[in-house]
Each structure stands twice: as C-alpha cells, then as structure tokens.
Copies of this chain bind each other. A is one copy, B any other.
Amino acid sequence: MNLAEDGRAALDWVVDYLDRVEDFPVLSQVQPGEIRDRLPTEPPADAEPFRNVLRDLDDVLMPGITHWQSPNYFAYFSITGSEPGILAELLIAALNNVGILWRASPALQELEEVTLDWLSQLLGLPRGWHGQLEEAASVSTLIALAAARDVKPGARVVVCSEQTHSAADKACKLLGLEVRRTPSDDEFRLVPDALDLDGACAVVATVGTTSTASVDPVAAIADACERAAVWLHVDAAYAGSAMVCPEFRWAFDGVERADSLVVNTHKWMFTPMGCSALLTRRPEDLRRAFSLVPEFLRTPDEVVSFSEYGPVLGRAFRALKLWAVLRCFGRSGLQARVREAVRLAELFEGWVDAEPGWEVCAPRHFSLVCFRRLGSDEDNERLLQRINAGGEIFMSHTRLNGRFVLRLAVGNARTEERHVRRAWDVIRSSAE
C-alpha cells in the first residue's frame, strides 16, 4: 500500500467524521448481531487495498458505532479524544515502541516520568509522587490493591462504600480479597465513623463516584487509615481532572495523604482511550508487588524499568499522547474546558430544579446531573428508552435509594450550551 496516499484518505475520513459527528444518531440503533451478520464469515485469502477498509468502515460498521465523540453524548461519563491526542496516536503507532525496559525506549520511559510529574503539578499533588500510565482505571486499582495486600500480609479486606466502582470488586476477586461495603450517607458519601477497618489492608475512597459524582470525605478517611495503618487508594478516575482548577480542590482535601490515586486522563482530560494515570507516594511497594526481572531483561543499565511496577511487561507509548494533550491545551486550556462543562451542568441542574414535575436526585459537584421525572421507576425507564431511541442524545441511568434515576454527564470538549439546551428539549418532549 502507499502510506502517503492511504494516509491522506484516512486523515480526510477523520477530519470529515469530526466535522459531522454531531449529525449522527449518538446511540447506535442496530439490533444485536446486525453488524456481525454484515461481515464476511471468512478472512480474506489475499491482500485488499486499504480503501476497502475505509469503505466498509462507512458502509458496514458506522451504523454500529455509538458516537462517544459527539457533543450530544451525555451517558456514563462523557469523554473526548481531542485532536492533539488523535494525532499523537498516529505517531505512537508509527514508532511502535514497546517499553519492556528502559533501553527498549528511553524516551518512552522518561517522557512518562516527566509527563506524570507535570500531571501531578497540574493536579496540585505534593512533589515527588511516582506516576505511571495504565490502560484503564481497573488496572490502576488492581495494581494499587495488589501493593496494599502485599504490604500487610494476612489482612484480606478492602473497605469501600456502597457507591464504589465495581472495578474494586473485580480487583479483589482477582487478588483473593474480600470487599466490605460501608453504607453511604444521604449525599452518597462514605461515612468515616462507620468504617470498620478490622482485618483491612486498604480503603478505596472515591472523589466523583460513578453514579452521582459524590465526594467521599477523604481527609477524615485518611485519618482513620493512618490510625489503622491501612493503605488509602483514592479513585478520582472521572473527577480527578477537575483538580486542575483551584476552586474544585475542596473536593480533594486529603488526597495528598492517599497512598495511591487514579485519574483517568481519557475521561476528562481530552486524551484518547486507554490512558489511566496511577499516582502513588509508595512506588517501592508497587515494585515489591510486581518486580520480576528474568535473565532476558537484564542489562548493564542502572535504571528501574516501569514494567517492574505493574502486571504488563510490554508498555505502550501512552505518555506521548498525554504529553501532546497537555502541551496543546496548557493549564489554562484544561481549566477553561473543565469550568465550561461544570457551568453547563449547573445550568441544566437549574432548569430541572425550576421545572414542575422533575427533581434533581443528588447534589451536583462537577459536570454530572442526576435527576428524574416525578412518577414511577417504570415511567422513567421508558422515558430513557424513548430519549435514546430518538438518536439525538444519549444518556444513561443509575439507581439511587432503589429509584431509577437519569444521568446527564457533560464533559465532551465539543459540547456547547446549545447542545445542553437541545438535550433538555429532547428530554421534556420525550416525557410528554
């Protein structure tokens, strides 16, 4: 194939896609099996031109794509693969570096060190924390809890709240640990006085829970963890990016005392998928949990490789995309976009609050609004189905105190006030 020519076609496709992304039905409207059935059942015998890939992306796959890049995407957490991040992925693939050890790509490892130090500074963390990039928050949390387990042999319990993300359960299942869930208060926050740390090796506190973006009182939890010598892991996968703005730092009070912290830069820091930052002030404990250096990886270099701090040997060059994003947004650019998302969510919250027949169901701290129409769970569930079937916007739900609740998550960098206004129109008209 001709890389220049095919690359031009791929780039044109990307530019055109992002120009038109708001016009697609946000949630794919296909039925299960529909995309599979359109694809050949056998692999090609011989090489096809790359233009066939682009053609079938349009003709076969696009109807099955849910448009996470759309400004009308308000489900789960709204994310953005920004332009510098997208182009960085092209560069990363062209370099195809594998960070199995320092000499396998010194730039990969050292750029990751520097970029994670930049990130630490942007988030207002104490100097000197160790940072590394993982595929997903699930992996970051797994690494942190593995270190916590190995630090305190015999303590087999991880304590968290009923609002903690299921990633903690998955990690504990793998690690052979038991999860002890503590009730939350009426604002969906972990109650420090209710913490039972007997036999615990770790507590997972969350700043910005998945259901409501509620904020656990990290400082009080840190007090309890310090008294009991228990590892404190803070899950700020979504909300952590808001730490770039001083006015949101109240929510992160005590995070500086955590043993480990996860912030997904692919969530609200405009980096394409697969860029979860794990930050820790106890890197040696991670290293003890994961370091295994077989003969084939021994070199004369006196450098500790990142592969000694986690389960994966072949590290991707994720740092390059985060570095590109941080440079092309800058601190002020990150702050402006976080503030705008929060402003839009606040605006939406105000509309819901002022509208008879609707209620806000949880305090709004960041860019997520939980709300419902007064009426039965079934009514709200059907309402959500109608909203999503229309294709104009995509939203998701949660359950709070047993009730079915709608979630509107702002966060895509392309979302403007007009999109949020239109969402509210769609929601209200779907309710009629």
Question: Which residues of A does B touch, CB under 8 Å?
Answer: 1, 3-4, 6-8, 10-11, 13-15, 17-18, 27-28, 30, 32-36, 39-50, 52-53, 57, 61-66, 68-69, 75-76, 79-81, 83-98, 100, 102-108, 110-111, 113-114, 117-119, 121-122, 135-139, 142, 146, 165-167, 169-171, 173-176, 210-211, 266, 272-274, 289-290, 292, 294-296, 300-303, 311-314, 316-317, 320, 323-324, 326-333, 385, 396-399, 407
Contact = CB atoms under 8 A, between A and B. Distances in A.
30 contacts: A4-B11, A7-B87, A10-B90, A13-B94, A30-B106, A32-B106, A42-B118, A42-B121, A46-B330, A47-B329, A47-B332, A50-B84, A53-B323, A53-B324, A61-B111, A64-B106, A65-B108, A68-B104, A69-B96, A79-B96, A90-B90, A98-B273, A137-B314, A138-B314, A173-B292, A174-B174, A210-B296, A274-B314, A296-B398, A296-B407
Main secondary structure, interface of A, reads: helix
A413 to B, nearest CB: 11
A312 B136 contact: yes
Give the number of times this chain occurs in the complex, counting copies.
2
Nearest to A404: B295
Contacts of A57: 91, 320
Contacts of A117: 41
A296 B174 CA distance: 22
Given A11-B4, A292-B169, A398-B295, A44 B98 contact: no
Shortest 7 CB-CB distances between A and B: which pairs? A64-B107, A81-B96, A43-B118, A89-B93, A46-B330, A35-B110, A36-B110
Nearest to A146: B174
Contact of A68 (B1, B69, B84, B96): B96
A402 to B, nearest CB: 10
Nearest to A304: B32
A403 to B, nearest CB: 11
A361 to B, nearest CB: 14
Contacts of A15: 3-4, 7
- Interface centre among A139, A295, A326, by most chain B C-beta atoms within 10 angstroms, is A295
A46 B333 contact: yes
Contacts of A314: 136-138, 266, 273-274
Given A90-B93, A166-B292, 6 more contacts: A8-B8, A43-B119, A48-B330, A136-B313, A169-B292, A274-B316
Nearest to A297: B166
A39 B69 contact: no
A137 B3 CA distance: 29
Contact of A32 (B36, B105, B303): B303
Given A48-B330, A64-B110, A296-B76, A6 B83 contact: yes
Central interface residue in A28, A30, A95, by most chain B CB within 10 Å: A95
A37 to B, nearest CB: 9
Contacts of A312: 135-136, 138-139
Contacts of A92: 89, 272-273
Contacts of A68: 95-98, 104-105
Nearest to A43: B118
B138 A135 contact: no
Contact of A89 (B32, B69, B90, B135): B90
A292 B170 CA distance: 7
Contacts of A320: 57
